[in-house]
């Protein structure tokens, strides 16, 4: 059997924060299986990065709301790369708008992807982790899950749910040597925040003590730390990466 610390599984790995996490974990020597609904056009760049670090990377197109596809993804990863030791759930979407006019579909799309998708992935992966008696799970929440965020009731609810889910999971699996932590980014420059109007961006920036948006690499560095044995005594925590917004 391979080293269960070496294989990492990342959702939402095609772009943004998830992509940076895939790269960072490869650089740390992990074999990485990632998924997203569509695979990146430059998947070859990840393969070259993995080859440079003598690791392997596998991309799979799937929707995290599809529980059967998620189970198959976890099983295939173990079969092809070996026992999974690190799980990072970054797949997420926004569909902002005031509650008064929010459609049921917009509610479900966000909650089903962000929260139920996290549940699907963690549930499929937790039994293998328990069997190997080690592992690190890192879920991606948001400052919007810690504080109110107008026009984001669906998104905030999903992200607050991820925090409660992960803290409960941390207590449940600690005796198996598994840690579970939450990363809660603030404003990070990705496709998700590209669509913000100049006015909305300026308003958000004005509230950030460090006065700038964060980078995907800054989030990935923290995720990689939590995934590693250097964070061996940290579990059930929510780590804000937000330039001080949630302080
Ligand atoms: P991006 O929009 O840049 O990337 C989202 C990723 O998730 C893509 O890989 C996307 O690929 C994938 N994805 C979306 N829906 C699904 C699905 N149903 N099944 C599988 N994969 C899916 O977002 P970010 O990188 O900015 O965000 C990553 C995470 O960080 C999200 O959970 C987000 O909520 C959170 N976050 C982001 C912040 C920011 O400022 N950017 C702030 C706080 C939290 P595809 O579309 O091909 O499926």
Distance between CA atoms of residues 7 and 30, nearest Å:
5
Select which of 155, 185, 216, 240 is catalytic. 155
Atom of ligand 1 nearest to the CA of 143: 43
Q: How many Å lie between the centroid of ligand 1 and the Cα of residue 32? A: 18
Which of 13, 36, 115, 245 has the most ligand 1 atoms within 8 A of CB, as the residue to mutate?
36
Q: What is the pLDDT of residues 63-109, one digit of tens each?
A: 999 999 999 999 999 999 999 999 999 999 999 999 999 999 999 99
Question: Does residue 233 carry a catalytic annotation?
Answer: no
Query: Which residue, among 35, 5, 189, 42, has the nearest Cα to 117 in the 3D structure?
Result: 35
Distance between CA atoms of residues 153 and 173, nearest Å:
30
Q: How many Å lie between the centroid of ligand 1 and the Cα of residue 92? A: 4
Q: What is the pLDDT of residue 182?
A: 98
Q: What is the pLDDT of residues 229-242, one digit of tens each?
A: 999 999 999 999 99
Which of 12, 95, 109, 165 has the most ligand 1 atoms within 8 A of CB, as the residue to mutate?
12
Q: What is the pLDDT of residues 148-204, one digit of tens each?
A: 999 999 999 999 999 999 999 999 999 999 999 999 999 999 999 998 999 989 999
Q: What is the pLDDT of residue 46?
A: 98
Q: What is the pLDDT of residue 4?
A: 61
Minimal-distance CA residue to ligand 1 atom 32: 92
Minimal-distance CA residue to ligand 1 atom 48: 37
């Amino acid at each position: 059997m391979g080293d269960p610390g070496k294989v990492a599984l990342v959702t939402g790995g095609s772009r943004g924060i998830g992509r940076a996490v895939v790269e960072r974990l490869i650089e740390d020597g992990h074999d990485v299986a990632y998924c997203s609904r569509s695979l990146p056009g430059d998947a070859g760049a990840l393969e070259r990065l993995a080859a440079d670090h003598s690791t392997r990377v596998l991309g799979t197109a799937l929707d995290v709301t599809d529980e059967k596809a998620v189970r198959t993804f976890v099983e295939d990863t173990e079969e092809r790369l070996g026992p999974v030791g690190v799980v990072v759930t970054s797949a997420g979407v926004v569909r902002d708008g005031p509650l008064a006019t929010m459609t049921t579909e917009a509610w479900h799309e966000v909650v089903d992807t962000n929260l139920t998708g996290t549940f699907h992935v963690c549930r499929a992966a937790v039994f293998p982790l328990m069997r190997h008696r080690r592992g690190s799970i890192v879920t991606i929440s948001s400052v919007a899950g810690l504080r109110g965020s107008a026009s984001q009731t669906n998104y905030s609810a999903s992200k607050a749910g991820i925090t409660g889910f992960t803290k409960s999971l941390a207590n449940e699996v600690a005796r198996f040597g598994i840690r579970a932590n939450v990363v809660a980014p603030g404003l990070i420059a990705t496709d998700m925040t590209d669509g913000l109007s100049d006015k909305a961006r300026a308003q958000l920036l004005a509230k950030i003590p460090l006065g700038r948006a964060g980078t995907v690499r800054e989030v990935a560095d923290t995720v990689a730390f939590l995934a590693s044995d250097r964070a061996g005594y940290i579990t059930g925590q929510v780590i804000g990466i937000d330039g001080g917004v949630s302080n």
